[in-house]
């Protein structure tokens, strides 16, 4: 018996456990101080009423023999794939229902998609980055090359023609930096991918925060992307589904590598290793796309966006460099006074009882940076920014 020894190459992450430990210590020593947490990447507003109603209606159907649903299609019910197809269509993108795969979230599929690729591929990943991109490739033993995202390129690196790679990760709006690629920049990535015979794995989990029609919500707004890109999206941030679990993956039928259609390969993977998303959850997700659903989720997204605006305005006023905030729930700021990430974390915690995430936890280029999120409530966001303003 040989275990997969690649797992031994994974680095333990102490980022969130260290934060929790420091916060617990602080709270114990300062029981009277009101702590404001702006570190967590999880939503806090409840599910939209239309979603709750749709789930309950579906649960009732499951309790009656004539409307009970057993195994559903692994790829997802057509009613939900149609709704997603129409959602793309309203953004002038044509995706067919058999190119859409319903998942239990972007995280699962971003990991599982790697099943389709040989170990012998080179992977290009921006730094700083969502750690899952790196770890899932280390687990498979693939070679990872990092590309620097930093203040000079506004955390939006462009392709380097001297680097040859096979799999490219792009997350826009980005986690953790909140930076958003323009169409022109993504066009360069698509051209580079095609030239290199590479595949772009495009993480669009935060697309709903984009306010400008000029910025791309989807890689498929770029001509040629249907020949080189797989897109991952999720209802987690769009509709508060972090605990309800539903997302979708688009694998165009025109995406061919080694003469093989990746759509066919992915369908085979999913029918073999997955049994679909719960019917009740798919009905909940479908409700998101109803007219009422779109209005209800917009209210939540606007609420988080307004929080982000309050934070951005504070940074602007103080002249602090940051990315994100405008088309993203994240503010990625340069620590004032050239502080290091953890130094700044301690300073914020001890001086104003505000908790964020040290940027160094997301990669070497994150050192000296700090992530704040807009997923908290309004009152706390205002209070935290007031304390911040008084401190600097």
Tell whether residue 132 is a contact of a second copy (CB under 8 A). yes
d(CA 329, CA 41): 9
Residue 5 CB neighbour total at 10 angstroms: 8
Tell whether residue 45 is a contact of a second copy (CB under 8 A). yes
CA distance to 78, 81, 94, 375, per residue, from 97 (Å): 7, 5, 10, 32
List 107, 326, 327, 371, residue binding a second copy (CB under 8 A): 107
Q: Which is nearer to a second copy, 196 or 365 (CB)?
A: 196
Q: Which is nearer to a second copy, 234 or 328 (CB)?
A: 234
- Piece of the chain touching a second copy by CB under 8 A; list 91-99, 114-122, 169-177, 213-221: 114-122
Query: What are the backbone angles phi and psi of residue 324, rounded to the nearest 5°?
Result: 85, -165
Min dist. Cβ of residue 71 to a second copy (A): 5
d(CA 177, CA 168): 18
Residues near a second copy (CB under 8 A), total: 75
Q: Which is nearer to a second copy, 32 or 64 (CB)?
A: 64
Tell whether residue 2 is a contact of a second copy (CB under 8 A). yes
Whether 229 and 193 have beta carbons less than 8 Å apart is answered as: yes
Tell whether residue 92 is a contact of a second copy (CB under 8 A). no
Tell whether residue 379 is a contact of a second copy (CB under 8 A). no
- Piece of the chain touching a second copy by CB under 8 A; list 51-59, 184-192, 345-353, 380-388: 51-59
How do beta strands 229-234 and 369-373 pair?
A: unpaired
Residue 369 three-state SS:
strand
Of 276, 168, 185, which Cα lies nearest the Cα of 230? 168
Q: Which is nearer to a second copy, 7 or 89 (CB)?
A: 7
List 55, 100, 287, 288, residue binding a second copy (CB under 8 A): 55
Of 374, 338, 340, 376, which Cα lies nearest the Cα of 358? 340
Tell whether residue 69 is a contact of a second copy (CB under 8 A). yes
Strands in 322-324's sheet, in edge-to-edge order, are 322-324, 330-334, 369-373, 357-358
Angle of helix 341-352 versus helix 15-29 axis, rounded to 10:
30
Min dist. Cβ of residue 282 to a second copy (A): 10
Give the single-character DSSP code of 100.
E
140 to 199, contacts with a second copy by CB under 8 A? Answer: 166-167, 196-199
d(CA 282, CA 102): 8
d(CA 181, CA 188): 11
Site track for a second copy across 317-346, x = CB under 8 A? ------------------------------
Tell whether residue 43 is a contact of a second copy (CB under 8 A). yes
204 to 243, contacts with a second copy by CB under 8 A? Answer: 240, 242-243
d(CA 133, CA 62): 37
Q: Record the tokens describing residue 113, joined without a space.
A: 């998609």
Please list the residues that pair with 125 across neighbouring strands.
146
List 101, 102, 112, 325, residue binding a second copy (CB under 8 A): 112
Q: Which is nearer to a second copy, 5 or 213 (CB)?
A: 5
Tell whether residue 376 is a contact of a second copy (CB under 8 A). no
Tell whether residue 60 is a contact of a second copy (CB under 8 A). yes
Tell whether residue 46 is a contact of a second copy (CB under 8 A). yes
Q: Which is nearer to a second copy, 236 or 312 (CB)?
A: 236
List 82, 98, 135, 221, residue binding a second copy (CB under 8 A): 135
Min dist. Cβ of residue 357 to a second copy (A): 15
CA distance to 145, 158, 199, per residue, from 123 (Å): 6, 15, 10
Residue whose token pair is 């790679």: 165
Q: Which is nearer to a second copy, 300 or 314 (CB)?
A: 300
Tell whether residue 258 is a contact of a second copy (CB under 8 A). yes
Whether 363 and 218 have beta carbons less than 8 Å apart is answered as: no
- Piece of the chain touching a second copy by CB under 8 A; list 62-70, 88-96, 215-223, 310-318: 62-70
280 to 299, contacts with a second copy by CB under 8 A? Answer: 280-281
């Amino acid at each position: 018996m040989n275990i997969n020894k690649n797992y031994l190459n994974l680095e333990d992450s102490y980022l969130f456990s260290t934060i929790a430990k420091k916060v617990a210590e602080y709270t114990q020593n300062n029981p009277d101080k009101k702590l404001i947490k702006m570190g967590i990447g999880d939503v806090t507003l409840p599910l939209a009423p239309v979603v709750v109603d749709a789930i309950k209606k579906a649960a009732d159907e499951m309790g009656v023999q004539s409307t009970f649903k057993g195994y559903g299609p692994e790829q997802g019910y057509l009613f939900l794939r149609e709704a997603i197809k129409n959602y793309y269509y309203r953004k002038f993108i044509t995706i067919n229902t058999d190119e859409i795969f319903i998942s239990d979230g972007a995280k699962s599929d971003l990991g599982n998609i790697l099943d389709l690729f040989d170990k012998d591929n080179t992977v290009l990943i921006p730094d700083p980055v969502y750690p899952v991109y790196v770890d899932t490739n280390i687990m498979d033993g693939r070679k990872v090359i990092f590309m620097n995202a930093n203040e000079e390129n506004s955390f939006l690196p462009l392709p380097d023609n001297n680097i040859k790679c096979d799999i490219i990760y792009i997350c826009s709006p980005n986690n953790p930096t909140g930076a958003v690629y323009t169409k022109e920049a993504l066009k360069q990535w698509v051209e580079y991918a095609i030239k290199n015979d590479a595949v772009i794995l495009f993480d669009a989990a935060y697309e709903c925060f984009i306010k400008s029609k000029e910025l791309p919500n989807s890689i498929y707004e770029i001509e040629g992307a249907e020949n080189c890109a797989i897109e991952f999206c999720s209802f987690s941030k769009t509709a508060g589904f972090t605990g309800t679990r539903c997302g979708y993956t688009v694998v165009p039928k025109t995406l061919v590598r080694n003469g093989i259609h990746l759509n066919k390969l992915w369908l085979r993977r999913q029918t073999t290793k997955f049994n679909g998303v719960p019917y009740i959850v798919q009905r909940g997700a479908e409700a998101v796309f109803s007219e009422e659903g779109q209005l209800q989720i917009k209210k939540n997204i606007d609420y988080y966006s307004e929080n982000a605006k309050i934070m951005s305005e504070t940074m602007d006023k103080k002249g602090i460099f940051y990315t994100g905030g405008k088309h993203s729930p994240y503010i990625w700021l340069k620590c004032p006074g050239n502080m290091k990430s953890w130094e700044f974390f301690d300073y914020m915690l001890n001086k104003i009882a505000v908790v964020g995430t040290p940027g160094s936890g997301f990669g070497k280029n994150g050192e000296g940076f700090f992530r704040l999120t807009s997923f908290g409530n309004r009152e706390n966001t205002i209070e935290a920014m007031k304390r911040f303003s008084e401190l600097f």
